[in-house]
Amino acid sequence: MLSKQLARFCFLLFFSLSVNILARAQADPIEHTWYNEAKTGKVQIYKARDGKFYGKIVWLKEPNRDGKPKLDISNPNKSKRNEPVMGLLVLKSFKKTGEGAYQDGTIYDPKNGKTYDCTMKLKDNVLDVHGYVMISLIGRSEKWTIAD
């Protein structure tokens, strides 16, 4: 009886580990937690059920202001100004368009409350995040590095 339970436990443990390893092996290369260029924050990028990539703030070097969690005070939507910056969805709706290329997404900057069109390119474990208005030639890029 004990050996059957042990065998069943070992099988379930092996099965669980195999599924976890396979799931990780099939993850997209940008599905990580990334430091922003200044290393003042971390953004976790994940693939959603809609097949697009999103990113949320999961760590801030300075998470508080005046002893309280930082809020999204610059958001143009007044009803969202009391939401914490921690956990904020800042990358939205990116489509993978090629090897290491992601387009048609947006990036939100909680410092100024503005949302920009954005592309991302992954090369050698560095993510080039390029936000722009209307024309991609004009904008700003940051190099993000893997944090996890």
Domains along the chain with CATH numbers: 29-146 (2.40.128.520)
Average of per-residue pLDDT across 85-101: 97
Give the tens place of pLDDT for each residue, 20-73.
443 444 699 999 999 999 999 999 999 999 999 999 999 999 999 999 999 999
What is the distance between the alpha carbons of residues 120 and 123, in angstroms, rounded to a whole number?
A: 10
Tell me the CA distances in angstroms from 30 to 25, 36, 71, 118, 143, one per residue in order.
13, 14, 27, 15, 13
Residue 45: exposure state from Cβ atoms within 10 A (0-12, 13-18, ≥19): buried
- Residue type at 50 in one-letter notation: D
What is the distance between the alpha carbons of residues 146 and 148, in angstroms, rounded to a whole number?
A: 6
